[in-house]
Amino acid sequence: MKIKISPFNQKNILITGGTGSLGKALTYHLLKYYTPNTIRILSRDEMKQWEMKKHFSSLDKKGLLRFFLGDVREKSRLHRAFENVDIVIHAAALKQVPACEYNPIEAIRTNIEGAINVIDAALDNEVEKIIALSTDKASQPVNLYGATKLCSDKLFINANNYRGFKKTAFSVVRYGNVIGSRGSVVPLFTEQAQSGVLTITDKEMTRFWITLSEAVKFIISSLEIMQGGELFVPKIPSMKLLDLVRAIAPNAKLVVSGIRPGEKLHESLISSDEARNTIDLGDRYVIQPENVMVWNPKHYKNTKPVDRDFSYYSQNNTDFLSTTEMKEKIKQASYEDNSL
């Protein structure tokens, strides 16, 4: 059933990197539960666009989907694609850690220079709201991917100072590993399980976990409540990678390969240095900006600041998934993937 009242209804929405796992899940959710005017998908791969158009043909009865070939590196293309757009979800990025380590200039051109182009196009076309998708690897980064996303986050947050009298508002969402997404370790382990041998980097490694549908709902709800300048962080569970292996293939032989270059033993969603600017909204945290002139600290009601010594790391999380709970999460992710 369609939601009657929403900031997405009768709006023109654009998703950069929209043919990826998250872009497809967002598109499905928007088509199924809202009534947008159009949904524009900007991406580089014409085959993926053709496959996506065919895949959503039965759900997109009114022909709301529009497909734009282009790259966030191409400023002129973004300016044309952003014309008359009300809401932008910026999901385009180079995000494979080893690939970014080996091709650092390419990562910078897409994740940082691409972010600048998106910001300029949004301001010049007076987009109402734009939310950029980040990663736990941007908090205290140790690899180039995390560093480029941290830089991108700073650009989007502080873009609110560039808007002047324009209405454009910029915010960021930061979350952990998406179960079942393209490039996730879950499909890799599932594939390896068929051979009876699984490779793990370190038995003590922990990660934050979120399903695609949870990520989509978090992005959409953040878009609904944002004022511009926030960095939203969901409250999500952690799990040891060793327990994930037990959930997928409990009888498999385990090979420990060692931590790869640019990889952390544990991930961070909120560092202790960010705690002084963090408030608790109940289902999520908001890291407030330090130097955004248009920020209104009274925008959110009934909130409380976190403790000064607060930090949100995957290893000190109070919510850890059991192997049974992770099995259910994986089943849910598989069901959602088949439903898309």
Catalytic residue ranges: 137
> Residue 217 burial by CB count (10 A; 0-12/13-18/19+): exposed, middle or buried?
middle
Residues in CB range of 159: below 8 A, 6 or more apart: 119, 122, 123, 168, 170
Q: Where are the alpha helices (DSSP H) in the chain?
A: 21-33, 46-55, 75-81, 97-102, 104-108, 114-124, 144-158, 185-193, 212-225, 241-248, 323-339
Nearest to 125 by CA among 91, 63, 76: 76
Token reading at 15: 């998703």
Torsion (CA) 30, 32, 36, 41 in degrees, nearest 10: 50
Q: Where are the alpha helices (DSSP H) in 160-211?
A: 185-193
> Which residues lie across from 12 on neighbouring strands?
38
